[in-house]
Amino acid sequence: MSALHGLVYLSVLIFLVACVARAVRIARAPMHLRWELQPVPHEKPGKSMYETVDYWEKTLEKNHFGELAVMIPEILLLRGVWEHNRSLWFPSFALHFGLYLLIGNMGLVLVIAIMALSGVEVGTGFGLLLTNAIKAVAIVGGGLGTIGSILMLIKRATDDGLSKFATPSHFFNLVHLGAIYVTVLLWALLDPSFVVNLSALYAGLLTLNAIPALSTIAMVHVAVVLLFFVYLPFTHMTHFFTKYFTYHSVRWETTPNVKGGKVEKNIIKNVTQPVTWAAPHIGADGKKTWVDLVSGTGEVKKEKEA
C-alpha cells in the first residue's frame, strides 16, 4: 500500500464521515412546525388536502411519482434556474452537468477496472465500447465543466448581484472545480492510454496493489479531486444532498397531527422542554416548559402587578 492509497482512502473517509455527520445533525433536529410551500407534488395535481370537505375522514389520492417528476428535472437540468434566472442557467448547467458526467464516469471506470481484474478482455467488444465511452464522457464532462467554471467565474466577478454576495470561497470553489475539469480534460486528450491508466488506478486502489506511475497531469487531477473530497462537506456545496431535507422535510412535509400518531409523540417531546427566551412577555425562567408558557397572555404589566 502506497501513500497514495492512504490519501485516497483518508479523503473518501473524511468525505463520507463529514457528509453523514451533517445529514445526521439535520435529520436529528426536532420535528418542526409545518411550513409547507406549494406546489406539494405528492398531492394529486391541483388538489391540496384542504380543498376537500372533511378531508380528515377521507383517503386522499396520492401522486407517488409527483416528487420524482419535480426532482429529476430540478437536479439534472436545473429547472429552477432555467425558469427564474435564465442568464445564469447555461454557466450553472455546464458546471453541474460536467460534474454529473464525471461522477457517472467513475461508475463506468469501476466496471472496466473490475472486468480487467477478473481477467475479462477489455480491448475488444463491450470492453472496447466502454473504453471509448469513458474517454468520450471524460472529454465532454471535462470540457463542459471547464466552460461552466470559466463562465461562472466571469458571472461571479461581473454580475452586480452575484459579485455583491460573493465570498472568497466562491472564487476558490470555481477555480478548484475548474482545475478538476481542466486536468481531466487534458489527461484524456494527451494520454493515449487514458482509460487503461485510469482503470489501473482504480484497480490498484481496490486491491491495495501497486498503482501504475501516473503522468504529471494525472497526478494533479487526482490531487485536486482528493482535496475536493475533503473540502466539500464543510461548505454550502453540500446542498447536493441537504436539498433532500429542504424539499422533503420542509416544503413537502405535510404529515397531519393525528391522535396517537408519530407527529403527536414528537410534539409531546418538544413542548415539554424548558424555555429560556428572555423577553418579559414570554415569562420563561429556564424551568417552565412550552406547555407551562402557552397558558399565558403575553401581558407584562398585569403580571408584574400581580
Partner 1 sequence: MSCQYCGIQPNSVNDISKESEQLAKVDPKDLMPLPAPYDGDEYRPSIAQLKDSSREAHPASATLDGVLAAGAPEPKTKEEEDKIVQQFISGLRKLFTKENNWTFLQPLTLSMEHCARCQTCVDNCPVYEASGWNEIYRPTYRSEILRRLYFKYVRPGNKLLTKFQNNDIELNYTLIARLYELAYRCTLCRRCAQSCPVGVDNGLITHDLRKLFSQELGWAPKELHEKGTVQQLTVGSSTGMNSVVVKDNIEFIDEDISERVGWEVKTPWDVEGADVMLIENAGEFLAWPENHGCTAVILNKAGINWTMSSEIAGYDGVNYGLFYDDVQLARVATRHFQIAKDLGVKKIVMGECGHEHKALATIADRVGVDLAPRESILTLLADIVKSGKLKLDPSRNDFAITLHDPCNTVRNLGIVQPQRDVLKLIAPKFREMTPHGIHNYCCGGGSGFAIMSGNNFEDWRNLVSSRKKFAQVLNAFGDEDLNTDETKKYICAPCSNCKGALRDMLEFYGAKEKSGIYYGGLVELVVNAMPDTAEPLLDWDMM
Q: Which of residues 94-153 bind partner 1 (CB under 8 A)?
A: none
Please choose, from the candidates 233, 79, 224, 73, the residue with its C-alpha nearest in 3D space to the C-alpha of residue 149. Answer: 224
Q: Output the smallest distance, CB 132 to partner 1, in A.
A: 34
Q: Output the smallest distance, CB 182 to partner 1, in A.
A: 22
Per-position DSSP letters for 112-135, written without gaps between them: HHHHHHTT---SSHHHHHHHHHHH
Residue keyed to cell 407584562? 300
**Coil, helix or strand for 251?**
helix
Q: Cα 129–134–136 angle (5° rounding)?
A: 95
**Coil, helix or strand for 64?**
coil
* Contact between 293 and partner 1 per CB under 8 A: yes
User: Of 207 and 235, which CB lies nearer to partner 1 in the complex structure?
Assistant: 235
Q: Output the smallest distance, CB 112 to partner 1, in A.
A: 34
Q: Output the smallest distance, CB 259 to partner 1, in A.
A: 6
* Contact between 168 and partner 1 per CB under 8 A: yes
Q: Which of 3, 24, 30, 306 binds partner 1 (CB under 8 A)?
A: 30
Q: Which of 3, 24, 213, 279 binds partner 1 (CB under 8 A)?
A: 279
Q: Which of 5, 42, 176, 251 binds partner 1 (CB under 8 A)?
A: 251
Q: Output the smallest distance, CB 134 to partner 1, in A.
A: 30
Q: Output the smallest distance, CB 79 to partner 1, in A.
A: 8
Q: Output the smallest distance, CB 83 to partner 1, in A.
A: 7
232 and 22 Cβ atoms separated by less than 8 Å: no
The residues, ordered by sequence, that sit 6+ positions from 301 with a Cβ below 8 Å of its Cβ are none
Q: Which of 12, 18, 39, 223 binds partner 1 (CB under 8 A)?
A: 39
What's the distance, CA 210 to chain centroid? 33
Q: Which of 115, 166, 223, 230 binds partner 1 (CB under 8 A)?
A: 166
* Contact between 298 and partner 1 per CB under 8 A: yes
Cα dist from 281 to 33, 238, 273, 293, 301, whole Å: 22, 39, 18, 10, 9
Q: Which of 278, 287, 304, 306 binds partner 1 (CB under 8 A)?
A: 278
Under rule CB under 8 A, which residues in 172-191 are in contact with partner 1? 172
Under rule CB under 8 A, which residues in 189-208 are in contact with partner 1? none
The residues, ordered by sequence, that sit 6+ positions from 141 with a Cβ below 8 Å of its Cβ are 97, 98, 99, 100, 101, 102, 105, 181, 184
